[in-house]
Amino acid sequence: MNELLVFMCDGAPVRGEIVSIGSAWQAVLEHRNDPPAIQKILGDFVGAATLLSASLKFDGTLIIQAQSKGPIQLLVVECKSDLSIRATVKLSVDPAKIAPDASLGELFDASNTGRLVITLDPANREPGQPPYQGIVALQEPIGTVIKPVTSAAEAIALYMQNSEQLDTRIWLSSNETHVGGLLLQRLPDSGGHAHLDPQEAAEGWSRIQTLGETITNEELLTLAPETILRRLFLEESTHSAVRSFPPRKIQFACRCSRNKVADVLRMLGEEEVEGIIAEQGMVETACDFCGKRYAFDAVDCRQVFKTDLLSDATRPPSSGH
């Protein structure tokens, strides 16, 4: 099951989404060997990115980055508007030292360095035009105390509250085979819900949240989105219709290429690349997202710096690697 289902509630100003990811998530993990706590956090953010991407109004990519000076140095999840996903995480400590039950707050340390960045990057963005970025701390001030965010769901809710200023509830769950998620978002009382007075709208939002809170991790990980929708909002049908749209498919897709590796070599500079060739005989690297390996021998590297024609500079390695 790799599906995302969008639904609307006629009797409440609420838009919702349910996601279930199976083989696409397993493809993310295929070349990884993360500790259980890291795998869970990565899976939860994959679910979050997919849910948030479903509302993109443009062809492009939503990127979630979480970074800190803690055990998780950098976590990146990318989801395109066609719901193709990829994800990676980099650690600053020995994976064996990470406790199986470590929380997000512990892994993005408690010294107030954790940051969550969500980037919306349109495919047709003009050269020089920056993408939209929203940044929030992975800590929340509670009175005079700074409280670390403890889960991906809490981090996303904090981002939506601070950056998007939309009332949003999100539930996320993941294990080694599946990712599941539910998102509820309050819509403006005008527009399609103009027939509701403010009190009706507030009561409807409260009612849908209460139903959402009954979702369990087991349901998110084992049931199809359509089944979850029927079970969760059966009671809502006594108030009005809950309408769903055709489910959308989710897939794993990596955009790495020899062209992009050649661009990285150019950024490193010819002198540094020649030093690597002298020491190792070739430049070898693997994609952080899919694990695919790329090898550039001395002839390849000379071509990278001799021409701007990517088709020449990134031909298959001349020595057969």
249: Cβ contacts below 8 Å, ≥ 6 apart:
2, 3, 83
Number of helices (H), then strands (E), in the chain: 11, 16
Cα(265)–Cα(296) distance, rounded to whole angstroms?
A: 10
pLDDT tens track for 108-131: 876 778 899 999 999 888 888 888
Residue-averaged pLDDT of the chain: 87
Q: Which of 115-124, 170-179, 311-320 has the highest mean pLDDT?
A: 170-179
What is the model's pLDDT at position 147? 81
What is the model's pLDDT at position 319? 42
Cα(20)–Cα(136) distance, rounded to whole angstroms?
A: 27
Q: Domains (ranges, CATH) in the chain?
A: 2-252 (3.55.30.10), 258-313 (3.90.1280.10)
Average pLDDT over residues 195-204: 81
pLDDT tens track for 241-277: 788 999 999 999 998 999 899 999 999 999 999 999 9
pLDDT for residue 315 is more than 50: no
Query: Predicted confidence band at 190 (pLDDT cuts at 50, 70, 90)?
Result: low
More confident position, 178 or 101? 178
DSSP E strand boundaries for 68-151: 72-80, 84-91, 115-122, 132-137, 139-142, 145-148
Is the CA virtual torsion 266, 272, 277, 283 positive or negative? negative
Other CB atoms closer than 10 Å to residue 128's CB: what's the count? Answer: 5
